[in-house]
Amino acid sequence: MYSPTPLSPRTIALFGSTGSIGVNTLDVVRRHPERFAVTALAAHRNIEVLAAQIAEFHPSAVAVSDLAAAADLRLQKPGCEVLAGAEGLVELARRGDYDIFVGALVGFAGLAPTVEAIKLGKRIALANKETLVVAGELLTGMAAVSGSEILPIDSEHSAIFQCLVGEPPESIRRIILTASGGPFRTLAKELFPKILPEAALRHPKWVMGKKITIDSATLMNKGLEIVEAKWLFGLPLSKIDVIIHPQSIVHSFVEFVDGSIKAQLAMPDMRQPIQYALAAPERIDTSYSLLDLAANSPLEFFAPEYDKFPCLTLARTACERGGLYPCILNAANEIAVEAFLDRRIAFTRIPELIESTMDSFSQKEATLETQPSAALDQIISCDTLSRKSAKRLL
């Protein structure tokens, strides 16, 4: 389970190439042209960046989910095959012209192409945590059948994955996900209703997309990572803990049954976990981002404040209820974050909206089908329904 097999040669289909994970993935490829080549790129609509990536990396085909942007790109790059729309992304993944599928699309859009890559038994380097949150049960079940390995790019899960190499699953007492605590870790709870988008977008340690930066400020990012860890490592919730670590140097811990704890440390640089997911079980020599322990001392750890950050508890609740509740949690969170960024709701309304959306579905309505294709359809319609429900509750 924790000993990924080597792959060679390594061609890459990068889904979500124009976002921060995509750009960092291409930087890893750029530094190691002898090891990696890009055969497919997919993006939502940023064709300016995509066109430059096509010129540099020469993929054999690309997909753009926005139809108008796809048409524009065809005019700009007549020599490159451009697939269009959500169907185009699925088609590109289904062609299987790659060894590694990098899943870095934002939000729910990553699910359908990832399903195709898993069906083909490909290695999945997964940055899109929402994919595992909404469909973890389905995807891990499909991967077990096809032999697809899912390697995390999320830094915390990469850390745990690295700590678990060579360790039997029964030796794990618990895993401990580290969280930076976000920009409001020390802010008084009374001031939370006054938090503005621009303050929430200033993450102290990581430069990331807007959605995940807000998720880091509410700690929903850590909540989603709890769900992600449950599926990636096949662990019950009782074995998944969170600790606040403002320096973001220790990326996570694993505690074993003998009381020994392993940690993975590195400078906060996404290229490190990306490179590990692409190259594992090998490690590639790199010159960037070496950690100077003395310069980064002291490393601090604090217990999470659940009353200030209710999103952590909501994610656990969704996981406990199971079925479609993590999908409802994720959809409601995306709507709430959008509304907050548009200044339509206060920061403290984010968890309230998620909770009331979850409560608007009965346990029976949220039961997941056991048959895979029925389950996938059900997840897709539950996502749509949950978004509608959250918008109504706004």
Q: Which residues bind Mg ion (CB under 5 A)?
A: 154-156
Closest to Mg ion by CB, 154 vs 383, is 154
Closest to Mg ion by CB, 111 vs 212, is 212
**Min dist. Cβ of residue 141 to Mg ion (A):** 24
Angle between helices 210-218 and 220-233 (to 10 degrees): 100
Tell me 99's DSSP state. Answer: S
What would you report as the CA-atom Rg of the chain, rounded to the nearest whole angstrom?
Answer: 20
Closest to Mg ion by CB, 154 vs 334, is 154
Closest to Mg ion by CB, 84 vs 319, is 319
Closest to Mg ion by CB, 149 vs 154, is 154
The dihedral over CA atoms of 128, 25, 166, 139, expressed in degrees to the nearest 10, equals 30
CA distances for 379 relative to 29, 227, 323, 331, 353, angstroms: 34, 16, 9, 11, 20
DSSP three-state, residue 271: helix
With beta carbons less than 8 A apart as the criterion, state whether 226 and 237 touch: yes
**Min dist. Cβ of residue 119 to Mg ion (A):** 27
**Min dist. Cβ of residue 221 to Mg ion (A):** 6
The span from the CA of 124 to the CA of 114, in Å, is: 8
**Min dist. Cβ of residue 245 to Mg ion (A):** 12
**Min dist. Cβ of residue 156 to Mg ion (A):** 5
Closest to Mg ion by CB, 117 vs 226, is 226
**Min dist. Cβ of residue 252 to Mg ion (A):** 9
Q: Are strands 261-265 and 81-84 parallel, antiparallel or unpaired?
A: unpaired
Closest to Mg ion by CB, 154 vs 255, is 154
**Min dist. Cβ of residue 386 to Mg ion (A):** 23
Tokens encoding 364: 């029976």
**Min dist. Cβ of residue 289 to Mg ion (A):** 16
CA 213 from centroid of its chain's CA atoms: 12
The span from the CA of 309 to the CA of 292, in Å, is: 32
Tokens encoding 147: 């032999």
**Min dist. Cβ of residue 154 to Mg ion (A):** 4
Closest to Mg ion by CB, 44 vs 157, is 157
Give which of 224, 201, 205, 242 is closest to 340, Cα–Cα. 201
Q: Name the residue with the smallest CB distance to Mg ion.
A: 154
Cβ-in-10-Å burial (0-12, 13-18, 19+) of 342 comes to: exposed
Angle at 379 between CA 200 and CA 373, to 5 degrees: 145
Closest to Mg ion by CB, 90 vs 219, is 219
Tokens encoding 251: 């990326």
